[in-house]
Structures are given as C-alpha cells and as structure tokens.
Amino acid sequence: MNTHLGLIAIVIGLSGCSTQGNKRLDEKISTETDMKSRATLQAEAKSSIDHAINLTDSQKAQLSALRRSVTTQADEFNRESLELRSVLMKDMIATNYNSKEVSLIKNRMRQLEDRRLTMIFDSVDQANVIMGRQAVVNQKVMGEFLGDRNYRD
C-alpha cells in the first residue's frame, strides 16, 4: 500500500513539473524559425551526429545506423499512409459510398499512426541507451508498470 502511495506521489509530482516543461519546450519550438522539410531535417540530424564532440566513434556509428533505420521505416510508413489516404479520398467521392469501408480505412490509418509514433518513441529510447542515459530505461519500466507503454517523463 505504501508503495502505491509513493508511486502516486511521484506521478503527481511529475505532473506539476509539466507546466514549466511546456513553457521551456514552447520557447525552444519558437526558435525554430523555418519549417524544415524532411530532407533538411535528415541532413541536420546526420550533421549533428557527425559533429557531436561528446560522442565516441562507436556511439556515432550506432546513432547513424539507428537514424538510417528510422528513415527507412518512416519511408515505409509514409508510403502506406499515402496509399490509405488515396483509397480514402476515392471512396469518399465514389457513388457507391460504403461507410463501413471508410471506417476500416480510418482505423488502419490510426493503427499506422500508432505504429509510427511507437517507432519514433522507441528510437528515442534506443538513442538514449546508446548515449548512456540509463534513466530512460527506468522511465519505460515505470510506464509499463503504470500501464502506459509510451510513458515519457
């Protein structure tokens, strides 16, 4: 019982920090003056890894491999998304509109987006492990305990 109260206190304490964290994040986002294209973002990520002075050659190699893997997976998710959106658009204007099929397409799109976000969150966890940030692993265990597989912070 005391363990549960302790966990509840931690969760409540962490939620109180979110307002300050949101303000800090909003400030960081506001400094990003140009909306980046995917290619620009990928080049920036590659350059950041290649020129990071705080990473070993092994860490750089692992992070570069992870970046390439994520890019490949993101390309596949994008391809699937485009296919689904194309079918959805055609079904929406078809004379034989089928609401059940449209619902199925929308569900597949949600599932695809969930898989894409899970891949992104998992890659962040992998990158943190590569960089020796083991506290992230502990956060993930806490999230799994609380029933949220994408628990962050």
Q: Give the tens place of pLDDT for each residue, 10-20.
A: 444 444 455 67
Mean pLDDT of 9-32: 64
Domain assignments of the chain as residue spans, ordered by start: 1-30, 39-146
pTM of the predicted structure, to 2 decimals: 0.67
Tell me the C-alpha distance between 137 and 82, whole Å.
34
pLDDT per residue as tens digits for the range 93-132: 999 999 999 999 999 999 999 999 999 999 998 999 998 8
- Relative orientation angle of helices 135-146 and 2-16, to the nearest 10 degrees: 110
